[in-house]
Structure 1
Amino acid sequence: MNLKSKNPFLNNKSFSATSARRSDQVHNATIIDYNQEMTVSGTINKTFILFLLLIASAMVVWWMAFNGTNPIVPAIAGAIIGLILVVAAAFKPQYSGYLAPGYALFEGLFIGGISAIFEVRYPGIVIQAVGATFVTFGVCLALYRFKIVKVTEQFKSIVVAATLAIATYYLISWLFSMFTSFQPVHYDNSLMSIGISIFVIIIAALNLFLDFDRIDKGAEQKMPKYMEWFGAMGLMVTLVWLYIEFLRLLSKLSSKD
């Protein structure tokens, strides 16, 4: 079984289809404009832009929350619209230049709202989660760049399988909790729940390696420039997931004190 990246923005189907179209253009063109090709540096720049947009909108909701506004409304709205933009970009990566900034802005509403809620309950938790996310990102990037961790097909298969298992578990647990009195084990602060959170964080971190690899491959295959937005958006999706999981883990640890 040949499993690929779980991340909808960095899956091989989208990149392969785009690469095929790009290949046809290269063979049929007399002059090639290399400024219109995807590069790693260009993807990094766009990731930084998306990060700034996300932080800006998150700070707005954060400020509103600590000035008496209920943050749950913008958080839910941001999560729903962000998900819609994720799906749209997965099917239409050529529009990523518009969809990616929109995703960052709306996802920032979600991050800002959720962060404010956690901060009220567990003061200081947000800065800890942010720090943990950045440290994890930095470590994973260093391990990838120095080729300490190599992204092989077997590595991809294991990470994708684990990610799909987590997504399935979360979905089933959510459905059961919505329509029954069932309380998922990962909702409490038991040792098993903490163990689950640690496992999910590890898998989220491993997804970063798949993201790095796919961005590198996209640049090597000389994909169109808009794929920089596509790759940057996919990386942001993983970072948001990682941050939320750190919030969950730290809240469980704090509630045990």
Structure 2
Amino acid sequence: MALFKTSNPALGTKTFQDAAARYGGAIDVANRMTLNGTVNRTGILLICAFATAAYTWRAFMQTHDPADVSGLLMLGVFGGFITAMVTIFKQSWAPITAPIYALLEGLFLGGISALLELRYPGIAIQAVGLTFGTLLTMLVLYSSGLIKVTNKLRIGIIAATGGIALFYLMEIILGFFHINFVSINGSGVIGIAFSLFVCAIAALNLVLDFDFIEQGVNAGAPKFMEWYGAFGIMVTLVWLYLEILRLLSKMRSRN
């Protein structure tokens, strides 16, 4: 998370400015990044993710055996992480690596959604609806100017996201020693409040993503940065969807 000075490692504060400075003077206006182009690329990545998610979902629902999708889940998790790192460090490869990332993440998201759907019927469609509802809401709030990305807001979101990342890392490490945060991971008031907080921070990261993409368009970044901007949105949406799934599973387990 600390690769760039932002909460989203894919969309750092200087990401688009650096790309524009490196390539901008050598390309004409027709070959520069546009907002519509980024939106279209985001749509393509979402279609890719939905396609592979549907495949993993169907594979599990046919047998209800986790073993049938465990390999796909691992491929999605580790393959998606590796592809994301490659994309972050090789931005010009984004037209190829961003779709691959979306396809791999779809494998993981479809599998984990199907597993939870079997336990909590209807949870997947609720999570999808809430994720896209949040995306549209944050887009409207940002485009209307109701939420303005000031330095204070940016620093606050970055600090909160970094804190969450450190907590999750610490939780993983302590888990090897059988030390668990029962209250936070449980379905009690504290656990639900924590998940609501994390979902809120993930949603606010979308605002930062919109701002960084707008900066790239204004800076005249090269055309391939449309794919990179779409990739950044996907990174945040994957995180938001998983956190919403976690929140809903906690709430459903109380019933």
The reply on whether 1:230 has 2:225 as its aligned counterpart is no
Q: In the alignment, residue 99 of structure 1 is paired with which amino acid?
A: T
CA deviation after TM superposition for structure 1 residue 174, in Å: 1.1
**Which residue of structure 2 lines up, in the alignment, with residue 183 of structure 1?**
180
**Which residue of structure 1 lines up, in the alignment, with residue 130 of structure 2?**
132
**Which residue of structure 2 lines up, in the alignment, with residue 141 of structure 1?**
139
CA deviation after TM superposition for structure 1 residue 234, in Å: 0.5
User: Of residues 67, 74, 92 in structure 1, which corresponds to 2:72?
Assistant: 74
User: Of residues 52, 55, 76 in structure 1, which corresponds to 2:50?
Assistant: 55
CA distance in 2, matches of 1:195, 1:94: 40
Gaps (5+ residues) in structure 2?
A: none
CA deviation after TM superposition for structure 1 residue 6, in Å: 1.5
CA deviation after TM superposition for structure 1 residue 145, in Å: 0.5
CA distance in 2, matches of 1:20, 1:161: 28
Question: Aligned runs of 1:1-257 on 2, under 5 Å?
Answer: 4-23=5-24, 26=25, 32-68=27-63, 70-177=68-175, 179-184=176-181, 185-257=183-255
CA deviation after TM superposition for structure 1 residue 72, in Å: 2.7
CA distance in 1, matches of 2:144, 2:178: 49
CA deviation after TM superposition for structure 1 residue 15, in Å: 2.2
Alignment TM-score, normalising by the size of structure 2:
0.94
Contact persistence 2:16–2:219 (CA under 8 A) = no
CA deviation after TM superposition for structure 1 residue 83, in Å: 0.6
CA distance in 1, matches of 2:158, 2:174: 24
CA deviation after TM superposition for structure 1 residue 20, in Å: 1.6
Alignment TM-score, normalising by the size of structure 1:
0.93
SS in 2 for 1:67: helix
Contact persistence 1:4–1:11 (CA under 8 A) = yes
Contact persistence 2:31–2:223 (CA under 8 A) = yes
**CA deviation map 1:71-116 (0-9, x unaligned):** 2321121011101111111111000001000000000001011101
CA distance in 2, matches of 1:193, 1:212: 30
Aligned residues: 248
SS in 2 for 1:5: coil
Gaps (5+ residues) in structure 1?
A: none
**CA deviation map 1:104-159 (0-9, x unaligned):** 00000010111011101111000111111111111100000100000111111100
Q: In the alignment, residue 8 of structure 1 is paired with which amino acid?
A: P
**CA deviation map 1:152-211 (0-9, x unaligned):** 11111100010000000001011111x212122332111111111000000000000000
CA distance in 2, matches of 1:76, 1:171: 19
Contact persistence 1:151–1:213 (CA under 8 A) = yes
CA distance in 2, matches of 1:16, 1:128: 38
